[in-house]
Amino acid sequence: MKNNSEIISDFSANHPAGWNVEQFRANWFAFLESIVRENSTLIPPRRVQYQVEQAAAFREIVAGWDSMDGFRRLDAWKRLLMIADESSREVLPVCVQCGECCRRGSPTLHREDLELLRSGKIPWGKIMTLRSGEPARSPFDGRPFLLPEERIKIREKEGSRECTFFDSEAGQCAIYDDRPLQCRAQACWDPMPARDLAEQQPFLKRADIFEGVGVLLDMIAEHENRCGFASLADAFEALSRNGGENVDEILRHLSYEDHFRRFVSEKFQVPGTDLELLFGRSFTDMVPLFGYRVTEEPDGTRCLVPDETGD
């Protein structure tokens, strides 16, 4: 059983009355997050944090925290949680550039954004294609869905959903003045402008980008015809139905698609980064979507193995 001094020390560590200002800061965001979660709002907690921390009341509390006695700290803490609760329900209708939208995913481009690409403000290597049928996430509520038609997107940083243009150290967009339409419409306090945009403004397509370049449009059509995303999804569905009998068929799909990309890259001098714009992600890169990964034996033979990493 704990003695009195241990009980007092536990109480101090877990209770605002016993925190110094560093402990206060270390605990504050966790409490704020749980308030936002309880209020079931889609507003990112960091956005609410930004708003509360700009308020005079917050600054006053932090500045005086260490000199308050336990009762006053408790009182100040309660006041702060009430402000956080109010702020999570009534976010000020203004973008404070907290960067949360940029951490949650990169934008999909509209036809009107084409000029940003043509002028070089957004380099070609920074965009990619998601093809019809591929899984994607709703920018409004983060829910997964299957794309009914292709989309052109700004790339995300590897292993995260953060936009490639987001400078996480500075917490800023590197192309803020020239950011795409979706970024301009996105407002975490009101999903309507972005929804209206998605419904009213045509999305950018590869056909718009490569208009007039017949040979590339033919290659894209041929690739869709022979290596459509649905053909890979069907092969994996068959794999789960028949207990692994068609592994070779899937590996043939992967090899053929790799070969197609290499051929186009070499023949038309297309850099590797631009291939994801021309043909979307490679079949090999998409294998993890189906719960598998590709390994290579020392003699170069490729194998398909269940991905147990859970990534």
Binding site for ligand SF4 (CB under 6 A): 101-102, 106-107, 154, 163, 165-166, 173, 175, 179, 183
Tell me which residue of 88, 65, 94 sits closest to 77, measured CA to CA: 65
Nearer to ligand SF4, 35 or 163 (CB): 163
Nearer to ligand SF4, 188 or 227 (CB): 188
> In the chain, which residue ranges form alpha helices assigned H by DSSP?
4-14, 21-38, 45-54, 56-64, 70-89, 100-103, 114-118, 181-185, 192-200, 206-209, 214-227, 229-242, 247-267, 272-278, 283-286
Nearer to ligand SF4, 63 or 174 (CB): 174
The distance of closest approach from Cβ of residue 210 to ligand SF4 in the complex, given in angstroms and rounded to an integer, is 23
The distance of closest approach from Cβ of residue 201 to ligand SF4 in the complex, given in angstroms and rounded to an integer, is 16
The distance of closest approach from Cβ of residue 185 to ligand SF4 in the complex, given in angstroms and rounded to an integer, is 11
Tally of CB atoms within 10 A around 62: 16
> How distant, in Å, are the alpha carbons of 72, 80, 126, 249 from that of 306?
57, 48, 31, 16
Coil, helix or strand at residue 106:
coil
Nearer to ligand SF4, 45 or 107 (CB): 107
The distance of closest approach from Cβ of residue 234 to ligand SF4 in the complex, given in angstroms and rounded to an integer, is 33
Tell me which residue of 263, 253, 101, 117 sits closest to 189, measured CA to CA: 101
The distance of closest approach from Cβ of residue 99 to ligand SF4 in the complex, given in angstroms and rounded to an integer, is 7
Query: What whole-number distance in Å separates Cα of residue 179 and Cα of residue 181?
Result: 7
Nearer to ligand SF4, 185 or 227 (CB): 185
